[in-house]
Structure formats: structure tokens, C-alpha cells
Amino acid sequence: MAVAHSIAARVNQLRADIEQHNYHYYVLDQPVIPDAEYDRLFQELQQLEQRYPQLVTPDSPTQRVGAAPLLEFAQVTHRTPMLSLNNAFEDAAVTAFDRRVREALGQALVEYAAEPKFDGLAVSLTYAKGLLATGATRGDGYTGEDVTANLRTIRAIPLKLRATHPPDLLEVRGEVLMLKADFEQLNRTQRGRGEREFANPRNAAAGSLRQLDPRITLTRRLTFYAYGTGAPIAGKLRRHSQVLDRLVELGFPVTAERQAVSGVAGLLDYYRALGARREQLPFEIDGVVYKVNDLAGQNALGFVSRAPRFAVAHKFPAAEATTVVEGIDVQVGRTGALTPVARLQPVFVGGVTVTNATLHNEDEVHRKDIRVGDTVVVRRAGDVIPEVVRTLEAKRPARTHRFVLPVRCPVCGSAVRRSEDEAVARCTAGLFCPAQRKQALLHFASRRALDIEGLGEKLVEQLVDNQVVRTPADLYKLGIAGLAGLERMAEKSAGNLVAAIERSKHTTLARFIYALGIRNVGESTARDLARRFGSIERIAAADAETLQQVPDVGPVVAHSIAGFFAEPHNRKVIGQLLAAGVSFAETAPRQLDPSSPVYGKTFVLTGALPHLTRDEAQQKIRDHGGKVSGSVSKQTDYVVAGADPGGKYAKALELGVTILDEAGLLKLLD
């Protein structure tokens, strides 16, 4: 039965539209229609194809799952072998790589194509006359497994090249991966069904790609990024970066993070800049890859065994590692919060050896069910505190016990209380608990508070344990003689410490308020309080309602502040500190001009400004009644960007936040 011409035309139109939308979504990263609209087009096409099966073609977007489950994967031999990459773990190895390249090519300065190293699975896609014919895993580089049916389910992989005259044959090389968000979602689903969770996105991607039933692969959200070709693309392409541009035209997602850079300095800059943004990227990377950009140069360099001499992978220190929990300690913080901390068998992760990792709070330990004796995944990314991500239940030894938080403070034995609306349990003894007293002293002396250099953890420990110091006011009674008796305290360091304590007497009201360690009062609130009230007496006298006139002070914070000053012990310590000579540089309540365009606005600073230092820019904004925040969100009014701005800049673009340069900021302040 012949199908009406108009129906065949509609089917073709729907396919073209759907492909176009896929391209916008996966390759350009700029969807033009909402998901629901896309789904509607897709359903219409499915219904027409069901009614007119003779119209179905293998490259139709509906035909991503056609195949029945397999019994095993067939082997495929790669037409062009998939080479491996040499690794560099240190800057020195990168410098050596660049030197070898320069010498071999006889050039003083080499241009490289730098790109992220995706932590996924390398695959090769073969297109015959423009249609996806075979997709295979890398295997040993010469033969891999035929996972065509599974790869067809990945919408980021085109079933058909975008070209009117496609080449007879094209091998596209790239990585299949799972985005972090999709990985989290998958593990939530697995957990909900009581099924095994995946240790990381790479394992999840590998497990999904190795499914013999493509219908399962379809339910796993995998994606794909191309990084090269097998045999070279015919034509006049001279650089690797042009090959990638061509792959984009042909319909392949290629990461926007790629960049052409010059010389070893360019390589290392790229490495550091991407490393700093690693956590913000939607996918996991385990390093960056450098390739000689000039294709003739690549050819001239050739290969050693199975790795090209023209490329190298510069690895990041692994962010995750597995180790064993030897114990779970409970630490008591400045506000009495009890924090369970895992004591670990030492493990090298994120570039350092880790022996402790935070377990955050009781609920987290139970949610993850982490037990003494467990083998766990530990994560340390960038400068963040190491944490236990998950336990590997399969490796759990016999007879372990669920963690129980003690009902008494492990330091002072006082009762532990947990209010209903909080995840945190606290020791109720306040400053009578030595642990809280020690933390309070350390906070008081910290750099952004009264900045007493040399008053570190070990010393505070001794001062409190020997009952030499009970409150911050006691610090100002310390003499060299009293200190010299302490362990590891030479006369010289005792002298230095006494001098540092003396110097700390000249401070600002904002630092002083911050130093008091009032719950919920951070640096920025302390500054606002100082500015609004101008003296500690006036703050102490303010009621909760008056306190709430300060920017960002709501009922909870006002309650903490009023509660702190209502406590006679706190008033006494403040009195002693002032009597000891702690004094403030003039901070008269400033008259702000609410008509200033900066007043009440939130700013985020990123990158180096040409004239102002970061502190100067912050001060100027605050002097005009603006706020400075560390991260970009929907609440941000302006991002002030200087040189090499990084992730905050990208976030600002994404959220449509107004971006200013230094001149723009100064104009607003004018």
C-alpha cells in the first residue's frame, strides 16, 4: 500500500526537526524548545511509523533501540588502532615532553591543543556513507567489543552525519561518560530499589555500556564527547583544533573547554585553570590532554610502541581512593557540635595523605551506614575537607556495628542534646566544656579575628588542660614566665607570643565581635553590627527587634546575639578584655547613602583587577552599603571580573548576572 506523499513528507520533516533539536541540545548546548515540545514531536513520529511501518528507516531517531538482547558481544578489529596516551604526573614531565617536541620539530615555541581528559570509556564510532555502522569499545587498542546497539541509544551520538556529501568512511574517537548529576540520580534510583550503587560515574558508564540488553542502556543517561578521528579526515584540515571544529559540523559534541595554547607555560596555565574548576564541571575528568596542534607536526613525531609522541595526558591527583575505617571519633566544636570523624588507614588522595575524614553528623553516618572496619571511598577535592563518600558493603567484615552517637559529651561528660529541627547534636555544657573552650580560644586568636600569631592548637591544648587559661581575657594576663614552663616553649617563642598578644589589643570592633564567637555571627554580620552600632556597649544593649535592623540579621541571628549578651559570664569576659586594654580603631556608625546604586546590592569578585586589590575593592563596595559574597547565585546582583576570572564568571554568564570590569565598578561607586 502506497503511503500518501504528505505523510511521508511529514515523517521526513519530523525527523529533520528532531535531529536539529538533538544537535542544538547535545552539540551546541543550546536547546531551542522545551523538553515537552521535543517529546511531542517524538511521539508524533513514533505514531506515524507505527501506522506506516514501511516508512521506518534505521537512522530514524525512533530507532535508537531496535535490537533484541544479545548473548555476548562480538569482537571488532579497529580499522585504525586506538593508541594509548603517555601519562605525566608532574610539571617536570610536561616540561620534558615540550622539550622533546621542540627538539624533534626544530621549533622554539610549539602550539598545542589542550583539552580535558574525560574519565569515561574510549569508543570508536564507524560511519559508512554517513550512517553509524559500528560502535566499539577500545579493548586492547586493536580489538574491542561491538557495542553498537548500546551506543545507538545515546542521543548525543548522531545516527547520521550532518553532511550533504558524507565521506565513505569516518572513524570518530571519543569518550562515553555519565554526567555527575545523572550519576547521582542513578544511584538514588538504585538505592530506592535496594540495588547496588555505583562507586563513581565512570563505573556507572562502564556498567551501562556493557549491558547485553540495550533497553537497559537506554534507561541510563549516557553522553558522548568526540576527541579525534581514526584515519585523518580527507581535505585541507591542518590542525587538530580544525578537526574538532569539523566534528562539530558533522554533528558530534566536542567540549567547549578545549583551547589552543602556546608553549609549556600555556600548557601549565591551562592545567591549573581547569584543575581549579574541576569540581564545577558537569562531568568528571582525571586530567588534561595536550596534543601538538599542527597535524604535519604530529605525523613527523610519530609513535613509540603504542603511544603517540605528539600527545601526553597530564593527570590530576586522584580525588577519590578507598581505605579502611579504623575508628570513629567524635569531636566537639566551638559551638558544642558533635562531629563524627572517621580515623582512616593512611591513604594518598587529592595529592596528600589523608588519615581523617569528616562524617558530618549522626544522620549522615546512618544514611551512609559507615562502620568501623568498613572499606570506604574517601574523597578530597581541591582544598575541601576530606570526606567519606560511601561504604563498600561487599567488603564489610563480619560482626560490625551500626554507629551510635554518645549520649554524653566525650570531652566533659555533660549531656548531649539535639533539637528537633537540627541535624547536629551538641554538648550542653557551653564554655564549661574544655573542648568548646579550646575551640573558642582558637577562634578568638584566629587570623580574621584578633590575629594572635603563634597561638596554635597544641599551645591552647596545654593552656586549657593546665588551667592557665579559661577565657580569652586570661590570655592578656599571661607573662613570659608563666609560658616558659610549658612543653616545647622556649623563652624566645614565649616572648614572641606575649608580643603578639599585646599587639592584638589594637583591633577593630568588627574583628572583636567576630572573635567573640557568637553563634550565627560570621565576619560579614560582625562588620554590619559594628557599622550599625559603633560600640560594643550599644550592641550589648540592643534588643532582638533593634538587631534585626542590621542587613541579613533575621530572628534566628538576632536571638543568638541577644542570648549571648544576656549571659552574665559573657558580659564579664568582655568587661575584662576591655579592662585589659583591648581597644578599637574608630568605627563611627557610617551614614550610608541608600540612593547609591551599590546600596544593598550583592557583589562577587573574581579574577585579578588591574588597579584595585581584592581587599580594596571589597572595602569600597562595603563603604557604599553593598555586600560582597564568595559565590555566584541568583541573589548576586553584580559580578566584577578581572583577568583569568574562572568558574564564577561562567556561572554569572549562565545565570545572566550583570558582569562589570573594574572601570564599571568604579563608575557605580562614583
Which residue, 286 or 362, is less far from ligand D41 as judged by CB? 286
**Can you tell me which of 15, 78, 117, 368 binds ligand D41, judged by CB under 6 A?**
117
Query: Is residue 236 among the annotated active site residues?
Result: no
Site string for ligand D41, 36-75 (x = CB under 6 A): ----------------------------------------
List 117, 160, 438, 648, catalytic entry: 117
Residue with cell 531496535: 66
- 148 Cβ neighbours under 8 A, 6+ residues apart: 132, 133, 134, 135, 136
- Least Cα distance to 599 among 529, 535, 551 occurs for 551
Give the shortest CB-186-to-ligand D41 separation in angstroms. 21
Task: Provide the Cα torsion 562, 563, 568, 574; round to 10°.
Answer: -60
Nearest Cα residue to 19 out of 309, 99, 28: 28
Out of 85, 425, 652, 657, name the contact with ligand D41 by CB under 6 A. Answer: 85
282 vs 575, beta carbon nearer ligand D41 = 282
- Alpha-carbon distance 311 to 289, whole Å? 7
Residues 6+ apart with CB under 8 A from 629: 602, 603, 604, 635, 636
Q: Which is nearer to ligand D41, 31 or 139 (CB)?
A: 139
Task: Please check whether residue 211 is in contact with residue 72, taking contact to mean a CB–CB distance below 8 angstroms.
Answer: no
Q: Report the site for ligand D41 in 301-320 (rule: CB under 6 A).
A: 308, 311
The Cα 266–Cα 114 span in angstroms is 9
CA distance 80 to 86: 19
d(CA 200, CA 320): 9
Provide DSSP, 325-391: EEEEEEEE-TT-BEEEEEEEEEEEETTEEEEEEE--SHHHHHHHT--TT-EEEEE--TTSPPEEEEE
118 is a contact residue toward ligand D41 (CB under 6 A)? yes
Q: CB under 6 A: which stretch of 79-87, 207-215, 331-339, 634-642 binds ligand D41?
A: 79-87
Site size for ligand D41 (CB under 6 A): 15
**Beta carbon of residue 78, minimum distance to ligand D41 (angstroms, whole number):** 12
Range list of H helices, 125-173:
148-152
Site for ligand D41 in 203-232 (CB under 6 A): 227-228
With H, G, I as helix, E, B as strand and everything else as coil, classify residue 533: helix
426 sits near ligand D41 (criterion: CB under 6 A): no
Indicate whether 83 belongs to the interface with ligand D41 (CB under 6 A): yes
* 94 half-sphere exposure, CB direction, 13 A CA radius: 25
Name the segment binding ligand D41 (CB under 6 A); options: 42-50, 115-123, 332-340, 660-668. Answer: 115-123
Closest to ligand D41 by CB, 308 or 373: 308
Cβ proximity to ligand D41, 149 vs 254, nearer residue: 254
- Compute the least distance from the CB of residue 141 to ligand D41, in Å: 7
Nearer to ligand D41, 228 or 472 (CB): 228
As a whole number of angstroms, the distance between CA 288 and CA 89 comes to 11
302 vs 413, which CB is nearer to ligand D41? 302
Question: Residues 46, 57, 63, 84: which binds ligand D41 (CB under 6 A)?
Answer: 84
Comparing CB distances to ligand D41, the nearer of 289 and 347 is 289
Stated as kind and residue range, the H or E segment containing 307 is strand 307-308
171/528 with CB nearer ligand D41: 171
Cα 31 to Cα 7: distance, rounded to the nearest angstrom: 27
- H/E element, 277: helix 263-277
By CB under 6 A, the residues from 466 to 525 that bind ligand D41 are none
- What minimum distance in Å lies between the beta carbon of 81 and ligand D41? 10
Q: Minimum Å distance from CB 316 to ligand D41?
A: 13
Among the residue ranges 2-10, 83-91, 159-167, 242-250, the one whose residues contact ligand D41 (CB under 6 A): 83-91
CB nearer to ligand D41: pick between 8 and 83: 83
Contacts of 184 (CB under 8 A, 6+ apart): none
**406-438: b (≥16 Cβ within 10 Å) or e:** eeebebbebebeeeeeeebbbbebbbebbbbbb
Is 115 a binding residue for ligand D41 by CB under 6 A? The answer is yes
Q: Return the residue of 145, 175, 362, 374 that touches ligand D41, per CB under 6 A.
A: 175
Site for ligand D41, residues 587 to 626, rule: CB under 6 A = none
Q: Under the criterion CB under 6 A, does residue 163 sit at the interface with ligand D41?
A: no
Least distance from ligand D41 to the Cβ atom of residue 79, Å: 14
Q: Decide: 486 and 434 in contact? Cβ < 8 Å.
A: no
Of the candidate spans 110-118, 504-512, 533-541, 567-575, the one that interacts with ligand D41 by CB under 6 A turns out to be: 110-118
Query: 129 — alpha (psi -120 to 50), left (phi > 0) or beta?
Result: left
**Could you please report the per-residue DSSP string of 537-574?**
HHHHH--HHHHTTSTT--HHHHHHHHHHHH-HHHHHHH
Q: Which of 11, 14, 18, 122 binds ligand D41 (CB under 6 A)?
A: 122
Contact flag: residue 291 with ligand D41 (CB under 6 A): yes
d(CA 256, CA 298): 23
271 binds ligand D41 (CB under 6 A): no
CB of 20 to ligand D41, least distance (A): 27
Distance separating alpha carbons of residues 616 and 113, to the nearest angstrom: 37
Backbone angles phi, psi at 229, to 5 degrees: -130, 165
Confirm or reject binding of residue 143 to ligand D41 (CB under 6 A).
Answer: no
Q: In terms of CB distance, is 228 or 434 closer to ligand D41?
A: 228
201 CB burial (10 A radius; 0-12, 13-18, 19+): buried
Catalytic annotation, residues: 117
Interacting residues with ligand D41 (CB under 6 A): 83-85, 115, 117-118, 122, 138, 175, 227-228, 289, 291, 308, 311
